[in-house]
């Protein structure tokens, strides 16, 4: 009797589930960013791969954590801005405010110890060093003066391409 070949998951359900669960983390960060902030005793530990594509922050900080970093959002965080694909936040490190931007795809662990809620995610692939350095430079760069109404703005993407 011949066996049927194993069925291949062409829908990639594992990746779909990971994305859906990252949506829970995103929704919680949006709640934390609201004017009311985190309710009650809730606070968030967010662990992410510092070498993942799109992670940006001060080089001195990220170099201290070359693989993973955990940040805590409880009492002292500022300018939390959850976007569609990443969030940014300012935290104090050594008494100095530092801004981090983290794609949701870079998150490996999301934990709220007040209610023992934990999500763990598969680690994303690492980015080549020059990609994250270029992204960090672009985030830190000051924006140009806005174009006059009716003028077209041309943006070169060459700086973001792998060479």
Percent of the chain at pLDDT above 70? 76
CB 79 within 8 A of CB 88: yes
Burial class (CB in 10 A: 0-12, 13-18, 19+), 157: exposed
pLDDT reported for residue 130: 55
**Model confidence over 55-114: pLDDT tens digits?**
999 999 999 999 999 999 998 899 999 999 999 999 999 899 999 999 999 999 999 999
Give residue 6's pLDDT band: very low, low, confident or very high (50, 70, 90).
Answer: confident
According to DSSP, the residues that pair with 112 across neighbouring strands are: 117
pTM over 0.85: no
Domains of the chain: which residue ranges? Answer: 15-139+156-160
Q: Does domain 15-139+156-160 have CATH number 2.30.30.220?
A: yes
Handedness of CA 118, 95, 34, 99 (dihedral sign): negative
Does residue 52 have a pLDDT over 90?
A: yes
Beta strand 107-112 with 78-82: parallel, antiparallel or unpaired?
unpaired
């Amino acid at each position: 009797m011949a066996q049927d070949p194993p069925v291949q998951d062409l829908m990639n359900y594992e990746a779909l589930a990971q994305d859906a669960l990252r949506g829970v983390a995103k929704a919680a960060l949006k709640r934390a960013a609201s004017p009311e902030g985190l309710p009650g005793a809730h606070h968030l530990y967010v662990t992410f791969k510092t070498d993942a594509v799109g992670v940006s922050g001060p080089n001195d900080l990220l170099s201290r954590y070359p693989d993973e970093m955990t940040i805590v959002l409880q009492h002292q965080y500022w300018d939390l801005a959850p976007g569609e694909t990443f969030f940014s936040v300012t935290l104090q490190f050594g008494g100095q405010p530092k801004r981090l931007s983290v794609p949701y795809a870079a998150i490996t662990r999301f934990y709220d110890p007040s209610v023992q809620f934990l999500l763990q995610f598969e680690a994303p692939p690492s980015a080549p060093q020059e990609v994250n350095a270029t992204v960090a430079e672009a985030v830190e760069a000051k924006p140009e003066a806005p174009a006059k109404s009716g003028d077209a703005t041309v943006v070169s993407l060459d700086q973001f391409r792998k060479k």
